[in-house]
Amino acid sequence: MRFGSYKPSESSATVFLGFLPLWSRIGGPDAVVGVAVSGSKAYLACEQGGPKIVDLSDPSQLTLVGHSPAGHSQAAAVAGNTAYIADHFGVRLVDVSNASAPFELGFCQTRGEAYGLAGAGNLVFLADGSRGIAIVDVADPA
């Protein structure tokens, strides 16, 4: 799977600007299944290779700058220096203040399989598969 960037042109047509092929830990292509953008960084949820961070400063030269050791991920959100990653087991909080060396701050297991998430204040709301919605307080990630 490739991660690409697009920018609308003045003629109302869209223009493809670039892409970045991503690979899983097992050597094959990795599927990007979720993305969150903050500033010049994209935080990607990838099926096999786990969360990845891409520098968007030059859309024609996208650069992979970091990845989290967490495994399979389904969705990503970011607030400040914290990325929230939904995976098969719950939500992982990852410190991304140093994009080249993200590290896990905390984890909360949910009852289902987290497929998507959104944050509001100190709460993260997860689409928790057949278990419905889960709400996690992330005020103290440790």
CA-based torsion, 86, 92, 96, 102: positive or negative: negative
- In the chain, pLDDT over 70 holds for what percent of residues? 89
Q: Which residue has the tokens 């419905």?
A: 132
Q: 61-90: per-residue pLDDT in tens?
A: 999 999 887 778 899 999 999 999 998 889
For residue 72, what pLDDT is reported? 82
- Tell me which of 21 and 41 has the higher pLDDT: 41
Phi and psi torsions of 26, nearest 5°: -95, 5
| pLDDT > 90? residue 126 | yes
Q: Which residue has the tokens 């204040």?
A: 121
Q: What is the pLDDT of residue 86?
A: 92
State yes or no: pLDDT of 48 exceeds 90: no
Contacts with 15 (C-beta within 8 Å, 6 or more apart), sequence order = 6, 7, 8, 9
Any idea where the domains of the chain sit in the sequence?
Answer: 14-137
Q: What is the pLDDT of residue 5?
A: 60
What is the pLDDT, as a whole number, of residue 75?
92
Q: Provide the CATH topology of domain 14-137.
A: Methylamine Dehydrogenase; Chain H (2.130.10)
Q: Do 49 and 25 touch, CB atoms closer than 8 A?
A: yes
Q: Which amino acid does the sequence have at 77?
A: A
Task: Quick: pLDDT tens for 110-121.
Answer: 998 888 999 899
Instruction: Please state the rounded mean pLDDT for residues 42-59.
Output: 90
Query: What is the predicted pLDDT for the residue at 23?
Result: 77
pLDDT over threshold 90, residue 31: no
pLDDT at residue number 39 = 94
The residue-averaged pLDDT of 28-34 equals 84
User: Contact, 84 vs 121, CB < 8 A?
Assistant: no
